[in-house]
């Protein structure tokens, strides 16, 4: 049995854990990073990166089919799923190797295996080479999540699948039912519809993307329907059955659906149960989340929880990374104040969606009087030249001061445009300050300027 003494132990090498480990090491700490699978975690291996690689292939295929609209003649294009997946795997491999190199460069010791607490300052890691005991002055828990599949679905990884299997299918099914109209479900709906699969999305709540501005969800639903995706909201799955050729899903409305694949994307569960938290003096809540304060410290001094495992409201890779940086810099300097009022949220559907700050409904709940303005992509020159006229930018501002409270975008490159909006919301910029900033022409970024002008009643191009 190997024994290691260290200043900081980090459980989980996802976007929260490995970033925290590297930053702490940069600040001079001796760091041990524990990972039972691949560095990069879910985001790099089974989430953010592989899905975006597949979306890129799907979007290019869809664009090639519209080449005539751009004055181009091309031969018939056909998706080759094996090559799409191979490209995805190569990108993931490149980035995993990059993270491994960064850990080595910063002298972070990587220990492979599954960690559990023996005491508040002691961990046991069971790995391929046996058990390692780690004595740590401080610990950051960044263990992450796995897909959640209730037993009613009869999950088998073949006909009833999760996002993990959806990334490595051997072939494209003719029909797919996606249960869950959140981020994961909507992204996979965009991917598979673009590749020629007949897709139906079933969501229990009244609209898609229930955690975002309702207009974004309704806008995406209209776009999905226009592209042939069947959207069924306010519907609950009552039963699932299957035979050798198809899966049948019975809905609360009485409707019965059948498809070759059912993708369950209704959420994820944490890995808190495997950590033996009680031996550290900790307990997870009913959702498997570990309560933390604004400093991300748990009820036990010296133990922190970041990412999807804590009770903060953002299950996002960049939120986990930001939290990891905040903890590492709090522990080893210089200190960083954790603030998440301007946390951007991006959904890589077709069209893209991005949001930061308050929705108009949230602003009203806080007792704020607001002004709202929208500007359509259809009135933006760059969007038209790109052949991407679908979408709009919506801004919410405080009525008296003009301070920007929230920005919500549906349209091409929304995930890129939201960075400017996040900066504006974070620093309390006014609509006048944003509209008065010179924006290059022709660019999609002008939609932000024009929307801000709209808040002042001075929009020029609409």
Residues acting as catalytic residues: 441
Q: Are 11 and 276 in contact (CB under 8 A)?
A: no
- Distance (Å, whole) CA 416 – CA 413: 5
- Secondary structure of 18-50 in HEC code, one letter for each residue: HHHHHHHHHCCCCEEEEECCCCCHHHHHHCHHH
Q: Is residue 452 helix, strand or coil?
A: helix
CA distances from 204 to 21, 395, 449 (A): 39, 28, 37
Rg (CA), the chain: 23
Q: Specify which residues 404 forms β-bridges with.
A: 397
DSSP per-residue letters across 407-432: EEEEETTHHHHHHHHHHHHHTT-BHH
Please choose, from the candidates 457, 442, 443, the residue with its C-alpha nearest in 3D space to the C-alpha of residue 397.
457
Handedness of CA 75, 80, 84, 86 (dihedral sign): negative
- Distance (Å, whole) CA 426 – CA 341: 7
Rounded to the nearest 10 degrees, the angle between the axes of helix 214-226 and helix 183-194 is: 20
Q: Are 351 and 412 in contact (CB under 8 A)?
A: yes
Q: Which residues of 171-193 are buried (b: 16+ CB within 10 A; e: fewer)?
A: ebbebbbbbbbbbbbbbbbbbbb
CA distances from 304 to 17, 123, 177, 296 (A): 11, 14, 39, 6
Please choose, from the candidates 35, 163, 39, the residue with its C-alpha nearest in 3D space to the C-alpha of residue 96.
39
Token code pair at residue 98:
């990059």
Residue 442 preceded by cis peptide, ω within 30: yes
Please choose, from the candidates 406, 345, 352, 402, the residue with its C-alpha nearest in 3D space to the C-alpha of residue 374.
406
């Amino acid at each position: 049995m190997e024994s290691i003494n260290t200043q900081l132990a980090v459980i989980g090498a996802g976007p929260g854990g490995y970033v925290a480990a590297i930053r702490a090491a940069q600040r001079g700490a001796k760091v041990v990073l524990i990972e039972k699978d691949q560095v990069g975690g879910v985001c790099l291996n089974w989430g953010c990166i592989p899905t975006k690689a597949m979306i890129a292939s799907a979007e290019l295929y869809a664009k090639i089919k519209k080449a005539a609209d751009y004055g181009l003649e091309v031969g018939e294009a056909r998706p080759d799923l094996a090559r799409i997946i191979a490209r995805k795997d190569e990108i993931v491999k490149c980035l995993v190797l990059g993270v491994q190199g960064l850990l080595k460069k910063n002298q972070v010791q990587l220990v492979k295996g599954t960690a559990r607490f023996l005491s508040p300052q002691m961990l046991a890691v069971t790995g391929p080479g046996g058990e390692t005991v780690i004595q740590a002055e401080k610990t950051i828990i960044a263990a992450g999540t796995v897909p959640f599949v209730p037993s009613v679905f009869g999950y088998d990884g073949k006909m009833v699948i999760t996002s993990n299997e959806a990334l490595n299918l051997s072939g494209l099914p003719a029909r797919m039912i996606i249960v869950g109209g959140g981020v994961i479900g909507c992204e996979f709906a965009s991917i598979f519809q673009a590749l020629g699969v007949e897709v139906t999305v079933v969501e229990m709540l009244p609209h898609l993307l229930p955690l975002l501005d309702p207009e974004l969800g309704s806008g995406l639903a209209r776009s999905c329907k226009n592209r042939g995706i069947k959207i069924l909201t306010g519907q609950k799955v009552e039963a699932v059955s299957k035979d050798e050729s198809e899966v049948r899903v019975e809905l609360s409305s009485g409707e019965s659906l059948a498809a070759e694949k059912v993708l369950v994307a209704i959420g994820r569960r944490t890995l808190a149960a495997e950590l033996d938290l009680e031996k550290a003096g900790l307990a997870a809540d009913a959702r498997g989340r570990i309560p933390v304060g604004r400093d991300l410290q748990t009820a036990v001094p010296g133990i922190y929880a970041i990412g999807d495992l804590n009770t903060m409201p953002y299950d996002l890779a960049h939120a986990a990374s930001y939290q990891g940086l905040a903890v590492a810099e709090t522990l080893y300097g210089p200190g960083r104040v954790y603030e998440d009022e301007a946390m951007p949220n991006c959904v890589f559907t077709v069209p893209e969606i991005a949001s930061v700050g308050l929705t108009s409904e949230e602003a009203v709940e806080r007792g704020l009087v607001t002004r709202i303005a929208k500007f359509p992509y259809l009135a933006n020159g760059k969007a038209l030249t790109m052949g991407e006229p679908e979408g709009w930018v919506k801004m919410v501002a405080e009525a008296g001061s003009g301070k920007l409270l929230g920005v919500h975008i549906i349209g091409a490159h929304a995930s890129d445009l939201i960075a400017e909006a996040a900066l504006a919301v974070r620093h309390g910029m006014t609509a006048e300050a944003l509209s008065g900033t010179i924006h290059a022409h022709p660019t999609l970024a002008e939609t932000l300027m024009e929307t801000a002008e709209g808040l002042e009643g001075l929009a020029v191009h609409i």
